[in-house]
Chains A and B, each alone.
Chain A
Amino acid sequence: MDRAEKLGLTMALILLLVFFSLIVYAAKGLKIDIPTCITDVEPFKEGKLIKHADKRYELHLLARMWLFDFDKGATQIKIPAGSVVDIYVTSRDVVHGVHINDTNFNIMAIPGTVGYMRVKFKKPGTYHVVCHEFCGVGHHAMEGKIIVE
C-alpha cells in the first residue's frame, strides 16, 4: 500500500467511527432509540386509548386490512397538545407499516408481535398515520389520523 492509499483508508475508518459514535450517543445519551423486543404486553384484538393522567396516554393501535383501529374501531383520535403517548402496535392479519408523519414513530405491525414507542405530540395539528407496507388491495386507502388540539 502506498501513502495515499493508507491515508484514504484511515480517513474512511475515522469518518465511519465518528458517524457510529454519534448514532450511539443519540440512541443511548439522547434516548432516541428504535423499537425493541416487547414481552410483557400481549397482542390485542381491538384498538384502545387509555388516559392515565392529564396528557399521559396509552394507545393500543391495531392495524388491520384496511384501516387503523385507534379506539374500538375509530380511525381517528383527539388528544391535547403536549401529550405523551405510549403507543403499542400490532396487526390482526398481515404485515402493515405504521408511520405517524412528522414524528419519529415508524414501526412495523406484525401479527403475533407487539411493537412499542413513546411519542410526545408537542405541536397542535393533524398527524396523518400512513401504512407503508403492502397489505393487500386496500393498502393505499388505510385511514388513520391523530388530531392534536
Chain B
Amino acid sequence: MQVSNAIKFIILTEIVLPTLLLVFGIYHGVMQVLYRAGVLKAESFLGIDYYQGLTLHGVINVIVYTTIFIVGFSNAIVMYALKKPLREKIQWISLGMMVIGTLMAAWAMFTGRATVLYTFYPPLIAHWTFYLGAVLLVLGSLVPFFFDWIPSAIAWKRENPDQKLPLAVFGTFVNFILWTIMIVPVAVEILFQLLPLSLGLVDEINPLLARTLFWFFGHPVVYFWLLPAYVALYTILPKVVSEKGKLYSDPAARLAFILFLIFSLPVGLHHQFTDPGITNTWKLIHALFTFGVALPSMITAFTVAASLEYSVKAEHPELKDSKFYWWTFLPFMRLEGNKWMFSFFFAGLVLFFFGGITGIVNASYNVNLVVHNTAYVPGHFHTTVGGLVLMVFFAMSLYMIAKLRGTDVKFKGLAVLAPYFWMQGMFMFSYAMMVGGVITGFPRRTNTGLTYLNPDHPLYRPEWVGYAQLSVVGGILLGIGFILFFISFMATLLAPKVRESTIEFPFADAFHDAPAPLLNNLKTWTVAAILLAVISYIPALYDASVRGVFFKSPAYIEKFPMPLKQLKGAQNQEGKEVSQAEKEVVEN
C-alpha cells in the first residue's frame, strides 16, 4: 500500500527515534551489571550517577521506546489492514506531543533532576518537567486511536457490514482501549499528587495512595507492551514460517484478546503484596485475577504452537504424521523471503516461556514474600518485556524501515544472529538474577558494587558475588546482541532505495474461523472491563486513602535526608543554618 511522504516520515520517526534512544537505555543496562558486580566501584561514570542511569534505563526502555514504537507499529497495522490512509494532521499532533514530552522528561533525567526511577514513588520528587513530559507522551500516544483509527474503523464497518474487524486491528483496538483506561489512574496520580507537590502548590501527599494509583497503571501497562507482540504472533508469524502458513484459530485469538481486556486491569495489587495499609483480602482477590490473566497467555502458547505446526506441515507435506520432528524444519537461521524474522520470534517465544512461568510465581500471593524486590523480579521481567516484546519489536522495526524506505535489509546475517546472542545473554542474566534473588535475597535497584560486593566494606556479602559476576557475562552478551541488530538497522535505514516505498504486512489467514459475534462486541467488553477494574479497586483505594494511612508526607529529593522544604529554607539563609540542619541530621 502506498503512503504519502508525510506519513512515511512520521512512521519512520516513530521507529527510528525510540531505537536511537534505546542506545542510551541499553548502554545503561550494561553499565548496571558492571556497577552491581563491583567491576565498576563508583557512584557514577561519565557524569551519570548509578541511580540516574537506572532511571534512564527504566524510563527509556519501557515508557518511551515502547510507547512511541507501539504507536508507529499500530499506525502501520491499522492503515494496512483497513486499507485506509492515515490523517496527516492528527498524526503530526500526536508525534509532536510525544517528541516534546520525551524531550522534557529526557532533560530532567539527563540533568539529574528526576532520579526517581521508572516507578517514581513519592515522597521522592522529580522536577515538574519529568511529570509533564510523561503526561504529554502518553496523551500524544492516544491521539491517533481516537481521532484517526476509530473513525477509519467506523467507515470500514459501513463499507463491510458483514465482516468482522480484521484480527490485527481487533488486537490493536483492545490494546488501546486498555491503554486509555489504565492511563486514568496514573494521570490522577500525576496531576493531583505529584505535579502539585513538585511545583510546591501542596506541601504533603499520601505516598501509599500514589503507589496504588501507579500500580493500577503499572501492571496493565505490561500488556500494552505485550499485545502488539501478540498481534504479530497471531497475524504475521505464520507467514514468516512459511508462505503457506496459517493462523490455527481466529476465535481463539479473539478470545485471548478479550480475556486480556477483562483481566489486565484488576491485578495491580499483586505489586503491593508487601505494602502495609491495604487489607490482604483485596490482595488475594487481585492474585486470583492475576491467575485469570495467565489464561490468555496459555491460550496463546497453544495457538502459536499449533500455528507453527500447521505452517511447517503446509510447506512439508511429508511431515504430516510427525509429532515432534517438524520442529527441526522451522526456519531458525534462514535469510530468504520473510524467514529471516523467525529467529527474533523464536528467541522471544523461548524467553517468554520462562517469563510466563516466573510471572506466576510473582503473582502467587504468599510465595511473593520470597521474591518481592529481590533481583528475581528484574530477572523475570527481562524475559518478558526484554524477551518476546523487544524481539518482536526489533523484527518489526527492521521489516518496516526496509518497506518504508524501499531498501533491502542489510547485514541480514547479523540480524538473524542478534536474537540468539540476546537469548543466551538473557538466559545467563535472568538465571543469575532470579536464583540469586530467591536463594540469597540479592536485592534489585541497588548499587551493590560499592557496599555488598565490596570486600573492603563491612556490609560485604560473599554469597552474592557469583550471581553478580554471571549477570555481567549475560549483560555483555545482551549488549553484543543489540549491537548486531543496530548495525543491520542503521545500514538498512541508510541504504540506497531500490524499490517503491510501501507499507505491507504478510498477514496470515485463519485455519479455523467462525463469526463469533459475542467475542466481537468490543463495546460491551469494554464496559465490563471498566466495571470490574473499578469495583476491584474501590476497597483498596479506601484503605490506601482512609483506613491505612495516618498522615501525609512532604517531598524529598534523593540527595538529602530531610524534606525538600526544610532544605530550601536552610539554603536560603545560607551558611550557619545549613550547618545547623546538618548537625540536626547527624544528631538524629
Contacts and interface: CB of A to CB of B under 8 A. Distances in A.
Interface residues of B, number: 80
B291 A16 contact: yes
Contacts of A140: 446-448, 450-452
B368 interface: yes
A137 B49 CA distance: 9
Which residue among A106, A114, A134 has the maximum number of chain B CB atoms within 10 Å of its CB? A134
Contacts, number: 223
Interface in B358-372: 360, 364-370, 372
B276 interface: yes
A37 B278 contact: yes
Nearest to B587: A73
Nearest to B298: A12
Contact of B299 (A9, A65, A111): A9
B189 interface: no
Interface stretch (A24-32, A52-60, A78-86): A24-32
A109 B275 CA distance: 8
A20 B441 contact: no
Interface in A88-113: 89-90, 93-95, 97, 99, 101-102, 104-113
B276 A115 contact: yes
Interface residues of A, number: 64
Contacts of A19: 291, 360, 364
Which residue among B49, B121, B276, B444 has the maximum number of chain A CB atoms within 10 Å of its CB? B276
A60 B303 CA distance: 52
Given A110-B207, A110-B276, A39 B548 contact: yes
B324 interface: no
Contacts of B281: 36
B302 A5 contact: yes
A104 B525 CA distance: 39
B549 interface: yes
B365 A27 contact: yes
A42 interface: yes
B276 A1 contact: no
A108 B124 contact: no
B155 interface: no
A10 B543 CA distance: 36
B547 to A, nearest CB: 6
Contacts of A77: none
Contacts of A133: 121, 373, 445
A34 B447 contact: no
B280 A132 contact: no
B459 A141 contact: yes
B77 to A, nearest CB: 26
A12 B370 CA distance: 25
Interface string B407-436: 000000000000000000000000000000
B541 interface: no
A27 B366 contact: yes
A110 B208 contact: yes
B547 A37 contact: yes
Contacts of B482: none
A23 B445 contact: no
Interface string A116-149: 1000000000001011111111111101000000
B133 interface: no
Contacts of A110: 207-208, 211, 275-277
Contacts of A13: 295
A23 B43 contact: no
Contacts of A139: 51, 445-447
A35 B249 contact: no
A97 B121 CA distance: 12
Contacts of B278: 36-37
Contacts of B501: none
Given A1-B252, A12-B299, A35-B274, A106 B558 contact: no
Contact of B249 (A1, A99, A138, A141): A1
Contacts of B2: none
Interface in B204-238: 206-208, 211
Nearest to B295: A12
A47 interface: no
A38 interface: yes
Contacts of A27: 284, 365-366
A106 B306 contact: no
B452 A112 contact: no
A16 B562 CA distance: 47
Contacts of B292: 16
Given A43-B551, A133-B445, A134-B117, A93 B280 contact: no
Given A34-B366, A38-B276, A110-B276, 16 more contacts: A5-B303, A12-B295, A12-B298, A20-B291, A37-B548, A38-B548, A90-B276, A95-B211, A102-B441, A106-B369, A113-B548, A113-B549, A132-B372, A132-B374, A135-B558, A143-B458
26 contacts: A8-B298, A8-B299, A19-B291, A20-B288, A27-B366, A37-B543, A37-B548, A38-B548, A43-B551, A64-B561, A66-B561, A93-B561, A97-B443, A101-B441, A107-B276, A112-B206, A113-B275, A113-B277, A114-B550, A115-B274, A128-B459, A133-B373, A134-B445, A136-B561, A140-B447, A140-B452
Interface of B: 43, 49, 51, 54, 117, 121, 123-124, 206-208, 211, 249, 251-252, 272-281, 283-284, 287-288, 291-292, 294-295, 298-299, 302-303, 306, 360, 364-370, 372-374, 440-441, 443-448, 450-452, 458-459, 461, 512, 543, 547-553, 556-563
